[in-house]
Amino acid sequence: MGASKDKFSLKVYKSIEEFTQVKNLVATVGTFDGVHVGHQEIIEKLKEVAKQTDGETLLLTFYPHPRMVLFPDDDSLKLINTLSEKIELLASFGLDHLLILPFSIEFSRITPTEYIRDLLIRDIGVKTLVIGYNHQFGRNRKGNFELLEELAPVYGFDVIEITAKEINEIKVSSTKIRKAIEAGEISTANKYLRYNFSLSGIVVEGQQIGRQMGFPTANIKIVEKHKLLPGNGVYAVKVTVQNHYYKGMLNIGSRPTINNDADCSSIEVHLFGMNEDCYNENIQVEFSTKLRDEIKFVNLEELKEQLQKDKESALLVLP
């Protein structure tokens, strides 16, 4: 199986065997969850160096996420992007090549020197390596920028380190963004990402209580179990379903007014201007901002009144 190509002409490889070396390859390595502003800085540097050296760009990443392999019993890690979302994002930034290698226990045991000599130089043919701040690699994450600098002349490659990217003097990291999303701080997360956080799933049948109040909802089932979900609340969102675009408002949580089970969480979105069913369709939701926390109302009439206010608020903030 050869490399696949998407609409942005990014070539995607799922093994070393699929990749054919190119001249003056400028590469970077990392999990790149979120492809946030710090990651985008690295990608821009890749493209800049490639232009200067008449080379091509490559991003090397791993799947599954290393933590999922090294700590298989720990199910706490949730990711900002699914693999398909990450590929689409990376393609949009104009990279030439994306190499996704399977991460395994065996791979985690190779020494930092083997990682550089055998993987980066012999197998991939890196001529310039661009890395982010505090990049670590190899067995027990012992490899670092200093080792790369030491071995660069030995193996004939250049290395460039990007300093910590900061927004308002706060260092950006995937961990910080995950925490913001989990706390429902979508506006903060979107600022760090420089795009709107999104999720996708399948529309499934619900209890149709929203329909009775004049606010029919599409209930969303998330297929990817490691996908990060925002904290409970009501959000202004933009939605794509059946190749159509809608503005809307989404509730994630236990629906306390109509449900006594606090552990029973659901995701449901009301699409403005859409009345037909879309069961079993793929749906993509882009989060703009959080409107409010979940509230338990006295009755459905109070809830209906609040939903009308939420709709008005959502329309004010959605472009």
For residue range 178-216, what is the model confidence (pLDDT) as tens digits? 999 999 999 999 999 999 999 999 999 877 776 777 788
Q: Would you state the pLDDT for residue 1?
A: 43
* Average pLDDT, integer, range 254-265: 63
Structure tokens at 60: 């090397």
Q: What percent of the chain has pLDDT over 70?
A: 92
Nearest partner of 186 among 238, 254, 132, judged by Cα: 238
Residue of 223, 313, 231, 236 whose CA lies nearest to 270: 236
Q: What are the DSSP E strand ranges found in the chain? A: 4-5, 11-13, 25-29, 56-63, 97-102, 126-131, 158-161, 166-167, 170-171, 198-204, 218-221, 233-241, 244-253, 266-271, 282-292
Q: How confident is the model at residue 260 (pLDDT cuts 50, 70, 90)?
A: low
The pLDDT value recorded for residue 170 is 61
Please tell me the predicted confidence (pLDDT) of residue 207.
73
Residue 122 has pLDDT above 70, yes or no: yes
Q: Does pLDDT of 233 surpass 90?
A: yes
Note the pLDDT of residue 162.
Answer: 87
What is the Cα–Cα distance from 305 to 227, expressed in whole angstroms? 32
| Contact present, 61 and 98 (Cβ < 8 Å) | yes
Task: Report pLDDT digits (tens) over 153-176.
Answer: 999 999 999 876 655 556 788 999
Taking 90 as the threshold, does the pLDDT of residue 299 lie above it? no
* C-alpha to C-alpha distance for 287 and 187, rounded to whole angstroms: 9
177 pLDDT more than 90: yes
Q: Between 38 and 195, whose confidence is greater?
A: 195
Structure tokens at 38: 């710090």
Which domains, and CATH codes, for the chain? 7-170 (3.40.50.620), 197-317 (2.40.30.30)
- As a whole number, the mean pLDDT across the chain is 91
Omega prior to 72 cis, within 30 of 0: no
Which whole number is the average pLDDT over 228-247?
Answer: 96
Model pLDDT, residue 165: 60
Query: What's the half-sphere exposure (Cβ side, CA atoms, 13 Å) at 274?
Result: 21
Q: What are phi and psi for residue 4, nearest 5 degrees?
A: -100, 155
